[in-house]
Amino acid sequence: MNMRQLQYFLAVATELNFTRASERVNIAQPALSAQIISLEDELGTALFTREKRKVLLTPAGDILVEHAQRVLNTASAAIAAVRASGRGARAHLIVGSIYTAIYCFLPNTLRLFNSLAPASDVSLQEMTISQQIAALKEGAIEVGLIRGHVYDHNIVTELLYRELLVVAVPAGSEYDVPGPVSLSDLATWPLIAVARGTATERGYGDRILDIFEDANLKPTIAKEAHDMHTSACLVAAGTGVAVVPAVMQLMQPLGVAYRPLNADTPGVSLSLAWHKDRVPPLLGAWREAARANAAELTARHPQYFLDPSRAVPVEQAA
């Protein structure tokens, strides 16, 4: 087993389609299939079930997804630290982040951070919340940008802000009409749901489905996505609708329109996270930059954020 095989495996695990996965890693499909077969032979078990029109992970494949991502994250962190030192950086910070924060929150945070710590270097990795929690525990990243509170006594979180939720609909579809969407109506629409987390690590998908459960409603789930940007892509393709953070409107993906959600919800949070026993030297500057950017962003786009009086300022480890 080598790093390249793990990259190929994760591409197929993400796409669940060998053609798209081969395009993702830029190799021919037969070569990709041969690499996966070689990996399965080495491990002595199938990682995927292959049907005529469907590719699915086996239980063994599910287990390897988590471990493969950890291995690649650790290797990336090591490479980034060495290269930063070679560029003359006196300090280096490894940051994990959810997809939406990379596009909507991190650019200005990085600018502010660079002014506070000019001799430092930052390595950035897009990761899901569960991947960040695992990476923080393993030391593969030093600080994360996540949603929600982490119920793990080893992880400390600090709330930056809470976003309102909106409904993403296919532009020009029957759902793309003016006005807010009631939760009862939304329950009858084809919903693209982000997959639930594990029993110990609740994710974004859990928080959205809890809204329906609390209102004694059962959503009509048309498709399940592994992450938010996949759900946005499926919305644009006309597959269904999705409940997303309001700040997604700053990204404006093609083919997606947004409507307010007429429901009293706690919204979704963006928080910093770090390991309580591994506090990086640059954490203070990073927190200061993130806090300043959060204040600027919420002041500039107040319509996207929940009233700060309804948010808890700081969340400590459970």
Q: Could you tell me the CATH number of the domain that includes residue 233?
A: 3.40.190.10
Contacts of 307 (CB under 8 A, 6+ apart): none
204 or 6: whose pLDDT is higher?
6
Average pLDDT over residues 44-67: 87
* 176 within 8 A of 169, measured Cβ to Cβ: yes
Tell whether 258 and 111 lie within a shared domain.
no
Question: b vs e for 171-184, b when ≥16 Cβ sit within 10 Å of the residue's Cβ?
Answer: beeebeeeeebebe
pLDDT on residue 261: 95
Q: How far is it, in rounded angstroms, from Cα 246 to Cα 228?
A: 12
Tell whether 143 and 205 lie within a shared domain.
no
Model's pTM, two decimal places?
A: 0.68
Tell whether 293 and 220 lie within a shared domain.
no
pLDDT on residue 310: 45
Q: How far is it, in rounded angstroms, from Cα 110 to Cα 280?
A: 16
Tell how strand 91-97 and strand 120-126 pair up: parallel
Strand partners of residue 124: 95
Q: How far is it, in rounded angstroms, from Cα 50 to Cα 194?
A: 24
Least confident of 24-28, 65-69, 85-89, 251-255: 85-89
Contacts of 117 (CB under 8 A, 6+ apart): 91, 282, 285
Q: How many domains does the chain have?
A: 3
Residue 192 belongs to a domain: yes
18: containing domain: 3-65
Q: How do residues 92-120 score in pLDDT, each as one tens digit?
A: 899 999 988 988 899 999 999 999 998 88
Tell whether 274 and 248 lie within a shared domain.
no
Alpha helices in the chain (DSSP H): 3-15, 18-25, 29-43, 59-86, 99-104, 106-116, 129-138, 183-186, 204-214, 228-236, 283-300
Residue 144 belongs to a domain: yes
* 153 within 8 A of 144, measured Cβ to Cβ: no
Closest CA to 235 of 169, 136, 287, 141: 169
pLDDT on residue 76: 67
Tell whether 184 and 150 lie within a shared domain.
no
Residue 318 belongs to a domain: no
Tell whether 105 and 237 lie within a shared domain.
no
The alpha carbons of the chain give a radius of gyration, in whole angstroms, of 20
For residue 62, count other CB atoms closer than 10 A to its CB. 12
Strand partners of residue 268: 163
Judge whether residue 89 has pLDDT over 80: no
Map residue 217 onto helix, strand or coil: coil
Q: 8 φ, ψ to 5°?
A: -65, -45
pLDDT-derived band of residue 274, with 50, 70 and 90 as boundaries?
Answer: very high
Judge whether residue 262 has pLDDT over 90: yes
Percent helix, strand, coil in the chain, to 5, is 45, 25, 30
Give the helix/strand (H/E) hosting 124: strand 120-126
pLDDT on residue 85: 56
For the chain, percent of residues with pLDDT exceeding 90: 49
